[in-house]
Amino acid sequence: AAGVIQSPRHLIKEKRETATLKCYPIPRHDTVYWYQQGPGQDPQFLISFYEKMQSDKGSIPDRFSAQQFSDYHSELNMSSLELGDSALYFCASSLRTGGSDTQYFGPGTRLTVL
């Protein structure tokens, strides 16, 4: 079965640079979620989108923005990167229209800020 796809899988940036992470949900899934996981930490919810509209917002810095496009893929844009932004970034998707809130996670993007 098709899973959530994330790209790139690894990304190395310098401080103050910009990064864009992409997420392609499971086909027919309509909801996308973004999580940040620091080393040894649990995943922290950043933001979610349902049918291309922002659905919920968590502890996402103002330097970050995200959107969901007409084909349901989502992008997380991160600007003015800081050392503390180094983490694993996971995207998850679900089929909310089908009445399911089960979130399936992608493989993640490992962001390293130098």
104 binds another protein (CB under 8 A): yes
- Cα 25 to chain centroid distance, Å, stands at 10
> 44: helix, coil or strand?
strand
Instruction: Say how far apart CA 102 and CA 88 lie, in whole Å.
Output: 21
- Residues paired with 22 in a beta bridge: 7, 75
Site for another protein in 1-60 (CB under 8 A): 31, 33, 35, 42-45, 48, 50, 55-56, 58
Could you tell me how many residues of this chain bind another protein (CB under 8 A)?
23
Residue closer to another protein by CB (options 6, 17) is 6
102 binds another protein (CB under 8 A): yes
110 binds another protein (CB under 8 A): yes
Dihedral angle at the C-alpha atoms of 81, 84, 85, 90, nearest 10 degrees? 180
CA angle at 67 for the pair 61 and 73, rounded to the nearest 5°: 130
Go through the chain and tell me how many residues it has: 114
106 binds another protein (CB under 8 A): yes
79 binds another protein (CB under 8 A): no
Work out which of 26, 108, 111, 113 binds another protein, going by CB under 8 A.
108
User: Which parts of this chain interact with another protein (CB under 8 A)?
Assistant: 31, 33, 35, 42-45, 48, 50, 55-56, 58, 88, 90, 101-108, 110
